Structure 1
Amino acid sequence: MSDDGLAQHLIAADFPRHDGVIHVGGLDLAALARAHGTPLFVYDADLMRRAYRALSQAVAGFAEVDYSVKANPRPAVIRVFAEAGAGAEIASGAEYEAALAAGVRSERILFAGPGKSAADIDRVVAGGIGEIHLENIEEMERVAAASARHGCRTAVAIRVNPGPDAQGGAMRMGGKPSPFGFDEEELDAVVDRVEAEPDLRLVGLHLFAGTQGLSAATLLGQWAYGLRLAARVAARIERPLETVDLGGGLGIPYFAGDTALDLDAVGAGIPNLRAMVAAAPGLATARIVLEPGRYLVGAAGIYVAEVRAVKISRGQRFAITDGGMHHHLAASGNLGQIVKRDYPVAAVVEPQGGVRTPCTVVGPLCTPLDMLARNALLPDLAAGDLVAVLQSGAYGLTASPTGFLSHPLPAEILVDGGRAVPIGR
């Protein structure tokens, strides 16, 4: 499927046009841009709920689905998932506060991340936390010290940097030297070290082998690998584990050639995983957790920018907009892509039967990196027209260099039940 084909497929499925105008949750996107200004992020709560329900049903009887806050930490977004039944995975004290503000109970919050500050550790230990995922020895010592100060035993899990057999996805998170977690080869020694801390209570294992995974077979294989590691830990401590966090890593299609994750194929592999859990005495009562972020919120978001000028330079058409990499670094290709490829991009208003021709969409910043699309098929555009970058619900504004060149922040709105509510600045 071409980039244009992906864009048109996503629009038809999730943001149908009426009279040529993209609609989000039944609301006219051009009218939303006029009302709230551009650049603008728009998130559809119904699409978030749909993704959460679909994944929860696919893994029913095996795992619970929590929301990884880093993907989009706005409390209004977190609340959508909390009300649907999700807990939260956080990576900072600020995300802890956002999760609490969204109504997530403290015991449903998991705290991961390789460089937790002493202040953040102290805050979550004092306020209550489901568990803290330990990623290095110094962190273990900080959690133990905070627990001693507050007179409690803190539930912890060990994050494992797995071996190469567990790898997969567009960005591998293990199988090589890594700041994330303890190497699998030293797992037994780490388990013994944590067990020796009187102020810690080892309850689980956390494995996150990769991200942006679109292969059901790869994900199922990673989850099985994680279960085997968890059973090993349970045997080592001679008691059942309470949780096994198998990470997130579920992807969405961004580029030409991407195929959406097949949830039917995921569901078909769940009975084998359930049998693994039932056969392992140390896992039979454990809560198995998946904590995706991108998969739940990514497809629900659109980034809208207004065209300020259109020019031809040496035969190439450029649309210069008021949005760019300072708001949406991932779409510019500067958040981890090795080969720069276009997100699905479309005109917000498009005449029926209009001809689309290649167009390079850039932002207002004084750098050639500020490019939202390199070869998008778009109708003839003029100043004042609107361009939509799809698949923009995850790793958008809060993953971008918003201070670069001191442009104002974009607006963010959540569309829910036919209403658009500002949720950002």
Structure 2
Amino acid sequence: MENYKELETTFKQIYSNYHICYSYKTNYTPAICKCVKNLGGYAEVVSDMEYELALKIEYTPDKIVFNGPIKGKYLESHLLSNGINNIDRIEEAKYICEIAKKYPDHQIKTGIRVNFDIDAGYTSRFGIDINNLKEIFELLKSNNVEVNGLHCHMSRARGIDAWKLRANTMLKLVENYKLYDIDYISLGSGMFGKMDPELKAQFPLDAPDYDLYAEEVISLFAKFYKDKDKKPILFTEPGTTLVSKYVDFLAKIIGVKNIRGKDFVLLNCSFHNLGETSQMKNLPIRIFKNEVDIKHVNNANFVGYTCLEQDVIYRKYTGEISNDDYVLFGNVGGYSLVDKPPFIMPDYPMIMLDNEDIQLIKRKENFSDIFKTFVFEE
């Protein structure tokens, strides 16, 4: 994966102890997760289901970062196996203290997810309020739990200023709480990644690339730790940054209608198949034409098969199309496949292209896949 290698190389050139930790929730297709593992990346999981997947792919706990507000049965064994964990709430901290009491001969270590304002226009619900950290540190210390890392993640703030604020705040916490021996600092995710030109044109012109993130953000850690004896791992947890551009979705035009002067083009997919970006921007598209019964549409909305008015997946298309044309949507790798509910229709298959090699990596879902957990009367 060239994108992975470019991101890793760019950041490592500035801070050598940088590592990528791939966000499973973004796209947990096993073939993608295996690719990340083969490249040396860590796994970032937020549920027991994702944790089981990482184990099935043969990750060891020390290469799994357990995040998220609700952790299940694996948390105890993860901590006892020297896995990486970030506390999200006070109840989790208390539970970890109980684990420490249960195993007094084992040094339990955990990180803390911290929450602070980065002027993104909302108050995040995740992590420990930066103003309450002292209480958490005292609780953990009094129960012989070692704090070995700091984590933060703020959504909807991809710009350089927000990322610099993340970095500077984390480094101030290291100084204020004398955390010079921690094993890692994680800045979470939310960077601009590679995009097709049609999509990139809909974002700000100054959207940063990997070089700018490295120069303005990663360099702050290189400077801070230049003369320190211990240089902790610096994580970021990219998801869409890594995979979005490299997954496409091929849909078929089923019909065209005009209602009171407005053109609608019906496709055999839904907005659930294409991810959240399709609800904010027009994804890049290529149309493979059938050239039969051609119709001209003006400012048409491409709509999906669901019975939801909001199932609009492309806006204001003008051009000639036909029934049975195919539309290839690009940049759909993030929060699409994992966010597709069993709503109205089962999900589609997924193939991987490697030059001329075509490999099925997810088969088409069927009726039995959807209804096998339901109980039918005998």
- TM above 0.5, one fold? yes
CA distance in 2, matches of 1:294, 1:231: 32
Equivalent position of 1:133 in the other structure: 86
Equivalent position of 1:275 in the other structure: 223
List runs of 5+ in structure 2 lacking aligned partners. 364-378
Q: 1:99 aligns with which of 54, 59, 65?
A: 54
Q: Which runs of 4+ in 1 moved over 6 A?
A: none
Change (3 A) 1:58 1:224: farther
Amino acid at match of 1:205: L
Per-residue CA distance 1:91-141 (angstroms, 9 max, x = gap) = 011111212223433211110111223x24245346x35311001111122
Percent of aligned pairs sharing the same letter: 22
CA distance in 2, matches of 1:226, 1:160: 9
* SS of the residue 1:114 aligns to: coil
Amino acid at match of 1:276: F
CA distance in 2, matches of 1:52, 1:212: 21
Equivalent position of 1:193 in the other structure: 139
Equivalent position of 1:388 in the other structure: 328
> Aligned-pair RMSD on alpha carbons?
2.7
Amino acid at match of 1:110: V
How do residues 152-163 of structure 1 correspond to structure 2 at under 5 angstroms? 152-162=106-116
Contact 1:125 1:147 in 2 (8 A): no
Change (3 A) 1:92 1:315: same
**Residue 162 of structure 2 is aligned to residue 218 of structure 1:** yes
Amino acid at match of 1:51: N
* SS of the residue 2:33 aligns to: helix
Per-residue CA distance 1:374-424 (angstroms, 9 max, x = gap) = 2235x4222211112211001002123x2222x121112222353222222
Change (3 A) 1:133 1:272: closer
**Residue 359 of structure 2 is aligned to residue 415 of structure 1:** no
Q: Measure how far apart 1:149 and its partner are.
A: 4.9
Contact 2:93 2:136 in 1 (8 A): no
Bigger drift between 222-231 and 108-117 goes to: 222-231
Per-residue CA distance 1:329-354 (angstroms, 9 max, x = gap) = 52552xxxxxx542333324599xxx
Contact 1:70 1:90 in 2 (8 A): yes
CA distance in 1, matches of 2:183, 2:130: 20
Amino acid at match of 2:115: N
Amino acid at match of 1:52: Y
* SS of the residue 2:225 aligns to: helix
Aligned length: 349
Bigger drift between 390-399 and 144-153 goes to: 144-153
* SS of the residue 2:271 aligns to: coil
Equivalent position of 2:19 in the other structure: 64
Q: Measure how far apart 1:241 and its partner are.
A: 1.0
Q: Measure how far apart 1:191 and its partner are.
A: 1.3
Equivalent position of 1:108 in the other structure: 63
Equivalent position of 2:367 in the other structure: none
Contact 2:275 2:332 in 1 (8 A): no
CA distance in 2, matches of 1:417, 1:142: 49
Per-residue CA distance 1:169-201 (angstroms, 9 max, x = gap) = xxx6xx73x431110111122111122223x32
CA distance in 1, matches of 2:146, 2:49: 25
TM-score (norm 2): 0.83
Q: Measure how far apart 1:309 and its partner are.
A: 0.8
Equivalent position of 1:32 in the other structure: none
